[in-house]
Structure 1
Amino acid sequence: MKKLIIVLLGIGFLQGCEEVIDDFDKGCTSDCTTVNGVFVTAENVPLKGIKIEVDYNTHVDHSYSTRNIKKAVTDEQGFYDLTFFAKDTELGNGGPGTFRLQADFSVLDTTKYMVPDRVFMYGNFNLSRRDTVLSKAFYVPRKAVIKVSLHNFVPQQPGDKVVVSTFFPSGGKVDDGFLDTDYNTGAHTVAAKNVLNQTMDLFAAAGETNIVRVYRVKNGVSSQEEIQLFIGPGNPVQLDYDF
């Protein structure tokens, strides 16, 4: 029996413990930190009803603690504002944890938008002082479908393949992104099946300029081609390629 108790205690120790502190209802009247921004889609149309929250996560040895600090919902203009009080122990880079800002997109129609399940918009970040304002805009692309037809796909040797990718604006604002846009880059990739003639559906951003990239390996030799393609609303796009 003693051996069993020791084993159970050991398992509990390895699993650690997790504590969740709910401070959502606590306000801030002075010396506050503010995180704000806007959610938009194509043509800067605002997105209403997206849930945003900020929390503080601590990980010490085998113990985990999360302080739920503030939550908000985007308004008619797609704007959100999180104003909260950071504790002394949460300031500086040498603290036991980090802040995290996340968004829940479940209000959006997945047939109309390319919607992530949940996005950590800032990842983990620290605050050196309380009277700080952080702004984070976020772009959610409207969904379009490009039909890519591949003809005469006959692999000659192992490793021969065709991979088609689309790249489009998606995510938070960046200073120097892959595309000519203010926002980060999303992507969708489909690999060809071992079928002679086939059509692949790739997601792209409606109302935006997308990059379509075709990567081939034929007879062991790789090649790549890409085009820029603007997709207007309601315009079906069909592309044809030979292996």
Structure 2
Amino acid sequence: MKKIALLLLILTFYGCSKIDDDTDDVCNANCTTLQGRFVTLNDVGIKGVKVLLKYRISGGPLGGGSTRLIAETKTDDNGNFYKEFYIKDSELGETADGYFKIEYDDTDLDVNKYILSDNQIGNTTQPLGQAIYSISSRDTIIGNTYYLPKKSYIAVNLNNFVPIQEGDYFEVRTRYPFGAYIENNDLLDTEYSTGFSGWGTFQASELNSQLNPFVAENEQNIIRIARRKNGVNTVENFTVFVPSDNSIELTYEY
């Protein structure tokens, strides 16, 4: 019994991850800068996005490791975030044991107004965040600009859905500008990454179904129609510009 208790104690010790919260520390010299911006349509800043910088050292096969919470802040009225912080000697350079991670939390924003990380229906698979595997010099600026589109909806009619065998489906998915600034995105002719919705959410459930997938307002969107018919998968992409106050209604046949 004592051996079992000791083993459980060891597993608990190694399985726990140590967390140090240094977010209240003030950097007075040799500072590194966390800086960026959140914007929406027409380069309008978004207020209230939470930003957290961590330094993470992974544990072994049994877990463990450590996390240092370094800096936290929020975007201001113009969508900007800015925070200076101090990198420890043990965290500096390519030989350091861990990596830096910037996490963005948009849950305080209006999910009916913007396309967010969690849209409560559908999904956005492009995460908001950035891993930085080494910082070699303290006189460095890290961060990025991120785009959260204005959310709009279109009507999509999926007609004549008659599944032939089990597993057949008929669904609409959407792609739109979303997330980090990457300079050039040929898929959507944008300077931001691509967000995704659908994948089992906006599916035909009867012979004729009308669905309302969300899309990015005043942007080029890709409307993807995916079918599995008699076990054979096909995909069609349609590029659609969605203006403000749109009344778009699209119809596709199974």
TM-score, length basis structure 1: 0.90
Residue 221 of structure 1, CA deviation? 4.7
Displacement of 1:66 after TM fit?
1.4
Secondary structure in structure 2 of the residue aligned to 1:12: helix
Alpha-carbon distance, 1:220 to partner:
4.8
Mapped contact 2:202–2:212 kept (Cα < 8 A): no
May I ask how many residue pairs the two structures share in their alignment? 242
Q: Tell me the distance in 1 between the aligned counterparts of 2:159 and 2:64.
A: 56
* Structure 2 residue 176 is the aligned partner of structure 1 residue 168: yes
Contact 1:216–1:223 under 8 Å retained in 2: yes
Matched-pair contact (CA < 8 Å) for 2:202–2:213:
no
Structure 2, gaps ≥5 residues long: 119-125
Q: Which amino acid aligns with 2:197?
A: H
Range that drifts further, 184-193 or 161-170: 184-193
Q: How does 1:137-148 map to 2 (within 5 A)?
A: 137-148=145-156
> For residue 142 of structure 1, what is the amino acid of its counterpart?
K
- Provide the identity percentage: 37
Instruction: Map 1:157-196 onto structure 2 (within 5 A).
Output: 157-177=165-185, 178-189=187-198, 190=201, 192-196=203-207
> 1:32·1:131 contact (CA, 8 Å) conserved in 2?
yes
Q: TM-score, normalised by structure 2?
A: 0.86
CA contact (8 A) 1:161 1:191 kept: no
Partner of 1:81: 82
* 1:26 and 2:25 correspond: yes
- Kept in 2, the 8 Å contact 1:149–1:241? The answer is yes
Report the equivalent of 1:11: 11
The amino acid of 2:223's aligned partner reads: V
User: Aligned runs of 1:34-183 on 2, under 5 Å?
Assistant: 34-61=33-60, 62-117=63-118, 120-177=128-185, 178-183=187-192
Which deviations, in whole Å up to 9, do the C-alpha atoms of 1:76-121 show, x marking residues without a partner?
A: 2111112111011001222111111111112211111122159552
Kept in 2: contact 1:100–1:120 (CA 8 A): no
Once superposed, what is the RMSD of the aligned Cα atoms?
2.2
Asked if 1 retains the 8 angstrom alpha-carbon contact of 2:158 and 2:204, the reply is no
Q: 1:2 to 1:215 in 2, by over 3 A?
A: closer
Which of 240, 244, 253 is residue 233 of structure 1 equivalent to? Answer: 244
The letter for the 2-side match of 1:181 is: T
How much has 1:232 moved relative to structure 2?
1.7
Residue 136 of structure 1 deviates from its aligned partner by: 0.2
CA distance in 2, matches of 1:120, 1:198: 33
Of 101-110 and 226-235, the range deviating more from structure 2: 226-235
Deviation of 1:176 (Å): 3.7
Gaps of 5+ in 1: none
SS of residue in 1 equivalent to 2:183: coil
Please tell me the residue identity of whatever aligns with 1:196. L
Residues 54 and 68, structure 2, Cα contact 8 Å, conserved in 1: yes
Return the alpha-carbon distance in structure 1 between the equivalents of residues 66 and 213 of structure 2. Answer: 41
Distance 1:138 1:69 in 2: 21
Q: Quick one: structure 1 residues 181 and 2, their matched pair in 2 at CA, closer, same or farther if it must change by over 3 Å?
A: same
Using a 3 Å threshold, how does the CA distance of structure 1 residues 24 and 221 change in structure 2: closer, same or farther? closer
